[in-house]
Amino acid sequence: MGACTSSPRSKAIKGGRGDFIRRPSTAKVIHMDGRMQELKVPVAAKNITSQNPGHFLCSSESMSINTWVPHVPDEEKLQLGQIYFLLPVSQFHNKPITLKDLCVLAIKASSAIGDHDS
């Protein structure tokens, strides 16, 4: 069987004079109040968390139902094209994330991105 892969960091776009690659332009940070912060250059996670005491960043791609929410390390640079959530430590510190939690976060992200695109 053949293998097919897709990179979340780029998309091939069909054009009239050939194909080209469009790179994602921003990293998106979704705040719990529904705001979205867009970063045009990769910055260390601590640049965001230092401005938001009592919060941590997690990548949307690293969250799974009934598992602990992994924190993005302070020194790790946020990747363009990725969505991150800025979560309160008090809410996600000592418990695994539930399906309900993930649904709430997905709705916040969808709403924030939709509001931004309109």
Identify whether the C-beta of residue 45 lies closer than 8 Å to the C-beta of residue 70: no
Query: Within 41-96, where are the H helices?
Result: 45-49, 89-92
Residue 52: HSE in the Cβ half-sphere, 13 Å Cα cutoff: 21
The domain segmentation of the chain, as residue ranges, is: 24-117
Across 81-109, average pLDDT: 94
Chain centroid to CA 51:
18
CATH topology (fold) of 24-117: Ubiquitin-like (UB roll) (3.10.20)
Buried/exposed 54-84: b ≥16 CB within 10 Å, e otherwise: ebbbbbeeebeeeeebebbeeeeebbbebbb
pLDDT in tens, 9-49: 444 445 555 555 555 689 999 999 999 999 999 999 999 99
pLDDT in tens, 51-61: 999 999 999 99
Query: What CA–CA distance (Å, rounded) separates 65 from 99?
Result: 6
